[in-house]
Each structure stands twice: as C-alpha cells, then as structure tokens.
Amino acid sequence: MNLDAFPAAIFAGGCFWCLEADALHLPGVLSAVSGYTGGHEPEPSYEEVCAGGTGHFEAVELRYDPELVTFRALVDWFWRRIDPGDPDGQFCDRGEQYRTAVFVRDAAEEREALASRATLAASGVLPGPVATAILPAKPFFSAEGHHQAFSAKNPQRYQLYRRGCGRDATLARLWGPADVLAGYVPRLPRRTPDEAELRRLLPPLAYHVAREAGTEPPFDNAFWDEHRPGLYIDPVSGAPLFASLHKFDSGTGWPSFTRPLLPGNVTLLRDDARFPPRVEVRAWHSGSHLGHVFDDGPRETGGKRWCMNSAALRFVPAGDLAGRGYGRYAGLF
C-alpha cells in the first residue's frame, strides 16, 4: 500500500514493539512501522543497533491523515506512552538505542514539538526535567520483517515482555489508569449526533444497523458484490474506514475485508447477544455499529474477516475521491 502521499511522524520511545502496538490504536493513523533512525550506520540490523555504537534509536514511523489528526496531537499523545524524564533508556531497557526522541522534518514541526515539550515541562507532572530530545529527522530504516506487527504475531511473548519490563506499571504511575488514547486530541473529534440529526443523515435501514446494531440481509445489500476501487467511509462522521484494496469475496453475502484501512478508526467490543460471543466492530468517531470480525478470513492476510453491513458504509469510487474531499487517498489506487 503506497502511503507516500501521507505525512510521516517518527518517534523513539524505547522498545519499538510497544510503541508500534500503541500507535495503531490512534484514529487517523494509517500505519506504524518499526525501525531505526538517528544514527550514522546505513542499513543497520537489529543486532548492530542493540550492540550500540551505531547512534541509532529504536523508533516507529507513523503515517497519518492530516485531515483527521495533527502532528501536534501525535506529539502530545507520545509523552504519555513513555517516561520522558529518563535520559538513559526506557523501563527495563537501557542503552542509547532505547533513548527517547521526537524527530522533526521542518521548522513547523520543530515549533510544534518544542511547544508541546514546553507545555509538558511546565505541567509539573514529571519530578525532573524532560529528557526527550527534539532532533532533525534522518533516514528511517525499517526493521526486519519479524519485528513488524510483533504484538499481533506473537501476542503471548509480547505481553510477557511488556509486563516484565514494567512499561505499563511505570506509565500508570506517571499518567494514571491505563488508556492508550490518553492525551490524544484528534482533529476530527469523537461525536455521536443527536437523534434528529441521525435520522436526517441515515435512511431507515442504515439507522437500524448503525444505531440499533441491526443486520441487513445477505446478498441483498449495496456492496456485497461491489468490485470498483474506492473507499468505504462512515456516513455519519465522514471518516474513512475500509478500502477496496482489502476487500475479498467471502461467500457470505456481506462486504468483507481483511483489515480496516485505518485500524484506530474502528473499535472492537465483546458482543454477548449470541453464543459463542462475537466481536462487534464500531466506528470510533461516530460510535455506529458496522458489523463483526471473525477468525475465518484468508490466512495469507492474517486470517481475519471483517464482515460489515453495506448500510453502515458509504462508498466513494476512486475516480470521485478528489471531488468528495478524499483526494489524498487517490494514490492508494
């Protein structure tokens, strides 16, 4: 998936497995890639960076939609995923590769990062000075494949490491109860319109699905056999949710996807309405019910089937993206 049209934000926050996993909960973020940056060694390996002497940080590069979230909001969020007062590493990980930093690409980003850090320093939350550096961005090198999406591929090992390293215990001590979205203020806010506005926005079936967790009939809905390239958006908030890039024919009669386009733009909830319980999918920005996610999707793409209701989506063909205000996504197709 070509994300070159979207701006990048690079943060070093200790173990890149953990920062990557946290960042994918953010509404407005399309991707999070673990890697190395800030040093002098070209094309470094994990072993070289861990051995020290390369000058590189373990870091994560985020690609984000600037219409949904700003660089400043990402920096404000970043402080609450780290211990900004630690100059020598993070949690149980010590050494130059585990230092923290915000990497800036231009003067505007530098102003935003410095202002955010000054606000943090003046808040009195930390017992001492902020140790996190604000540094000019250098080339970013993606980490080896087995490090990408590590939390999803190796959930037990990841959770054992995260708990054992004391990351969440330290974050709770510094920032309060666990909340991966703490400090995050997106440009497109989370808001559920009142009933009158919802009934104006949504036809009766769409209202039944989105607001009453209804289900439309299979093989008799708008998008189950839609094959054109384009985006599937939330008709209430306008936030992009899915893309034709990840759509497949599941044979169920409902539009099915291997993944959401922006993982943080959807939320997952336990649904006990049937036995065994299912996993419900809702739109983060509007709270609308979208469908369910199952574990019987294509294995080669992770094994998930995001089974959505057409009535809960609005389709924007690739050729109409610019005219409908989604031109930044045209390069995906």
Active centre residues (catalytic):
15, 307
Helices assigned H by DSSP within the chain: 16-23, 46-51, 71-79, 107-123, 150-153, 155-165, 167-175, 195-201, 204-212
Q: Are strands 133-136 and 100-104 parallel, antiparallel or unpaired?
A: parallel
Cα separations (Å) of 176 from 19, 22, 172, 180, 309?
A: 18, 16, 4, 11, 37
First to last CA, the chain: 9
Cα separations (Å) of 196 from 68, 189, 211, 311?
A: 25, 20, 12, 18
Rounded Cα gap, residues 236 and 287, in angstroms: 9
Strand ranges for 195-265 from DSSP E: 230-233, 240-243, 247-248, 256-257
The pair phi, psi for residue 100, each rounded to 5°, is -105, 150
DSSP 220: S
The pair phi, psi for residue 292, each rounded to 5°, is -140, 160
Tokens for 304, please give them. Answer: 């998930």
Nearest Cα neighbor of 75 from 106, 111, 35, 123 is 111
Tokens for 317, please give them. Answer: 């063909």
- The residues, any chain, with a CB within 8 Å of residue 89's CB and separated by 6 or more, are 14, 95, 98, 99
Exposed, middle or buried, 260 (CB in 10 Å: 0-12/13-18/19+)?
buried
